[in-house]
């Protein structure tokens, strides 16, 4: 007997959580005997692959179904979060083998046990959610999950405290926050006498590059939060007509075209990463799938070449043209277009060949709904981004440093009643850790140059 659409979704949830229950049980065995990590990790990897398949099939069915047992967004979020849990279990098992752990601590076994117990509670909750016949029982299960989560926090903190108290090998101690490490680096430069004072140690914090990236990352976050990323992602998915190759080709063709609008390669990457993350999520493609890796590799490699060929604000071409002297934009374009297109073609082909199996994947067909009107947040994001781009493109007129448009965009995007982001969103999703890491790294690099350190 054929399954109804409702039964298919519920069976997908049940099958997926069953994979997680099995994987967490294996994780307990790995933590109890880390020498078995490689063998048991293979089995967890198989379960994770089966979970990815269930997720992909569920998303395809979701886009092909008009009436669903839950809201469409809720179904998508639930299957995606289930997949995230299974991914994290696999990641934990991989690290045990990667770091060649030969002996684990009691807290590691306890933590894995709590995770397994939470998976069992989640399995019961999904069963109770089906039909909603006993809402009280479902709420009790949710409360139980909350208590288990707090228990896991307690076990984690206790285990971390024991690591520091034991005085063991430093390699065994949990890593320090990147932001704290950055401050330690600045202090080390002063205390070791590598620099004469704090003014030199903090030179990276006065470097425009750190502030430029802060503004660029904020533009990317605004595109994501405003809904623009999802809108563009849906457009790309519809144009791809279910072909992963077509989605990849659209990305490659967008690079030189977007350079005229967004001259900074970093800005383009910051925006396109959010767009394609949305596209991959809508298509139900896991982040570690071959086609996802191909897209992200292209974004972080080939994309940067576009600024070089078009001479529209990229640091490398502008500096090179100035050193050569006497070159106009048209001359630079004629000189660089052939090698750039050759590199674009070669790089794209190599990435395609490296992940060619992933391009056999069929993407779900999204409903051909008429586009909704632009929201107020989307319009403001577009306006602020275009203004920043115009300032970058006209730098020959006003002679402003590229950091000025980036910081102006940052200010307006966070400005009350004008921007689209709240301060809490900025601190949560970008925060100051990235700034501290970059600025301290620039301080170290600059002082290494001055002292001729190697």
Confidence band of 329 (pLDDT split at 50, 70, 90): low
What CA–CA distance (Å, rounded) separates 28 from 387?
A: 54
Confidence band of 454 (pLDDT split at 50, 70, 90): very low
CA distances (Å), origin 240, targets 319, 365, 368: 38, 9, 13
What CA–CA distance (Å, rounded) separates 280 from 364?
A: 11
Last residue of a domain, one of 373, 389, 414: 373
What CA–CA distance (Å, rounded) separates 383 from 99?
A: 48
- Overall domain count for the chain: 3
Same domain membership, residue 180 and residue 215: yes
Mean pLDDT of the chain: 79
Confidence band of 28 (pLDDT split at 50, 70, 90): very high
Query: Average pLDDT in the 31-44 region?
Result: 88
Q: Using alpha carbons, select from 38, 13, 151 the residue that is nearest to residue 94.
A: 38
Write the pLDDT tens digit of every residue in 150-159.
888 888 888 8
Range name among 19-28, 44-53, 303-312, 383-392 with the lowest pLDDT average: 303-312
Report pLDDT for 2.
41
The answer to whether the beta carbons of residues 192 and 421 sit under 8 Å apart is: no
Same domain membership, residue 348 and residue 243: yes
CATH number at residue 28: 1.20.58.220
Full-model pTM? 0.56
Q: Which residue has the tokens 């402003």?
A: 400
Question: Best-predicted range by mean pLDDT among 3-17, 82-96, 330-344?
Answer: 82-96
Write the pLDDT tens digit of every residue in 189-198.
888 887 788 8
What CA–CA distance (Å, rounded) separates 275 from 283?
A: 12
Report pLDDT for 315.
52
Same domain membership, residue 127 and residue 34: yes
Report pLDDT for 366.
66
Report pLDDT for 390.
84
pLDDT at 327 over 60: no
Report pLDDT for 174.
47
Percent with pLDDT over 70 in the chain: 83
Write the pLDDT tens digit of every residue in 108-150.
899 999 999 999 999 998 888 877 777 788 888 888 888 888 8
What CA–CA distance (Å, rounded) separates 220 from 271?
A: 4
User: Which contacts qualify for 159-163: CB closer than 8 Å, 24 or more apart?
Assistant: 159/105, 159/106, 159/107, 159/108, 159/110, 159/111, 162/105, 162/107, 163/105
Secondary structure (DSSP) of 71-118: -HHHHHHHHHHHHHHHHHHHHHHHHHHHTT-----HHHHHHHHHHHHH
What CA–CA distance (Å, rounded) separates 131 from 69?
A: 9
What CA–CA distance (Å, rounded) separates 211 from 334?
A: 33
What CA–CA distance (Å, rounded) separates 243 from 364?
A: 9
Q: What is the Rg, in whole angstroms, of the alpha carbon atoms belonging to the chain? A: 25
What CA–CA distance (Å, rounded) separates 256 from 276?
A: 17
Q: Give the chain's length.
A: 454
Same domain membership, residue 167 and residue 235: no
Same domain membership, residue 150 and residue 87: yes
Report pLDDT for 211.
85
- Kind and range of the H or E element at 403? helix 403-414
> CB atoms < 10 A from the CB of 376, how many?
9
Report pLDDT for 354.
86
Report pLDDT for 370.
64
If one compares 25 and 67, the residue with the highest pLDDT of the two is: 25
Q: What is the extent of the structural domain holding 141?
A: 5-172
Same domain membership, residue 278 and residue 393: no
Last residue of a domain, one of 172, 197, 218: 172
What CA–CA distance (Å, rounded) separates 214 from 433?
A: 11
pLDDT at 227 over 70: yes
The answer to whether the beta carbons of residues 248 and 356 sit under 8 Å apart is: no
Confidence band of 1 (pLDDT split at 50, 70, 90): very low
pLDDT at 348 over 80: yes
124 three-state secondary structure: helix
> CB atoms < 10 A from the CB of 81, how many?
10
Write the pLDDT tens digit of every residue in 70-116.
777 788 888 888 988 998 999 888 888 887 787 888 888 999 999 99
284 three-state secondary structure: coil
Report pLDDT for 258.
73
Same domain membership, residue 295 and residue 285: yes
Report pLDDT for 58.
85
Last residue of a domain, one of 125, 148, 172: 172
The answer to whether the beta carbons of residues 156 and 111 sit under 8 Å apart is: yes
Backbone CA torsion sign across 418, 423, 427, 432: positive
Same domain membership, residue 45 and residue 127: yes
Q: Which residue has the tokens 């501290």?
A: 436
Same domain membership, residue 346 and residue 325: yes
Report pLDDT for 323.
55
What CA–CA distance (Å, rounded) separates 70 from 187?
A: 54
Same domain membership, residue 379 and residue 363: no
Query: What letter does residue 453 receive in the DSSP assignment?
Result: -
Q: Is 83 exposed, middle or buried (0-12, 13-18, 19+ CB in 10 A)?
A: buried
349 phi-psi bin (left φ>0, alpha ψ -120 to 50, beta other): alpha
Same domain membership, residue 333 and residue 204: no
Same domain membership, residue 383 and residue 415: yes
pLDDT at 328 over 60: no
Pull the structure tokens for residue 18: 């069953």
């Amino acid at each position: 007997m054929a399954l109804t659409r409702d039964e298919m979704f519920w069976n997908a949830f049940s099958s997926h959580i069953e994979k997680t229950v099995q994987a967490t049980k294996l994780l307990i065995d790995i933590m109890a005997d880390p020498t078995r990590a490689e063998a048991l990790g293979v089995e967890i990897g198989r379960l994770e692959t089966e979970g990815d398949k269930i997720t992909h099939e569920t998303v395809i069915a979701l886009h092909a179904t008009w009436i669903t047992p839950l809201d469409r967004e809720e179904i998508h979020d639930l299957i995606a979060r289930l997949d995230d849990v299974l991914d994290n279990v696999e990641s934990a098992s991989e690290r045990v083998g990667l770091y060649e752990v030969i002996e684990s601590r009691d807290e590691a076994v306890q933590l894995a046990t709590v995770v397994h117990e939470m998976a069992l509670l989640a399995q019961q909750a999904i069963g109770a959610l089906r039909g909603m016949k006993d809402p009280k029982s479902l709420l009790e299960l949710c409360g139980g999950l909350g208590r288990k989560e707090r228990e896991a926090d307690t076990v984690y903190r206790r285990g971390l405290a024991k690591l520091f108290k034991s005085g063991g090998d430093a390699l065994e101690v949990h890593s320090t926050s990147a932001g704290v490490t950055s401050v330690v680096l600045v202090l080390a430069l002063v205390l070791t006498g590598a620099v004469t004072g704090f003014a030199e140690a903090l030179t990276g914090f006065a470097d425009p590059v750190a502030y430029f990236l802060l503004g660029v990352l904020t533009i990317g976050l605004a595109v994501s939060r405003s809904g623009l990323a999802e809108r563009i992602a849906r457009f790309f998915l519809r144009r791809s007509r279910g072909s992963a190759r077509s989605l990849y080709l659209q990305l490659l063709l967008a690079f030189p075209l977007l350079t005229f609008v967004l001259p900074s390669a970093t800005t383009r990457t910051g925006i396109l990463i959010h767009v394609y993350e949305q596209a991959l999520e809508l298509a139900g493609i896991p982040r570690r799938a071959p086609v996802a890796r191909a897209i992200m590799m292209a974004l972080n490699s080939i994309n940067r070449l576009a600024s070089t060929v078009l001479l529209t604000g990229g640091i490398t071409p502008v500096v090179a043209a100035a050193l050569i002297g006497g070159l106009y934009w048209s001359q630079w374009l004629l000189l660089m277009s052939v090698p750039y297109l050759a590199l674009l073609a070669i790089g794209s082909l190599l990435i395609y060949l490296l992940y060619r199996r992933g391009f056999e994947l069929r993407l779900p067909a999204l409903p051909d709904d008429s586009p909704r009107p632009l929201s107020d947040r989307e319009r403001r994001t577009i306006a602020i981004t275009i203004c920043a781009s115009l300032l970058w493109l006209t730098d020959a007129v006003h002679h402003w440093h590229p950091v000025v448009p980036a910081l102006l965009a940052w200010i307006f995007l966070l400005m009350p009643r004008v921007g689209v982001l709240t301060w809490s969103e900025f601190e949560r999703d970008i925060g100051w850790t990235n700034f501290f890491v970059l600025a301290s790294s620039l301080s170290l690099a600059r002082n290494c140059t001055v002292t001729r350190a190697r």
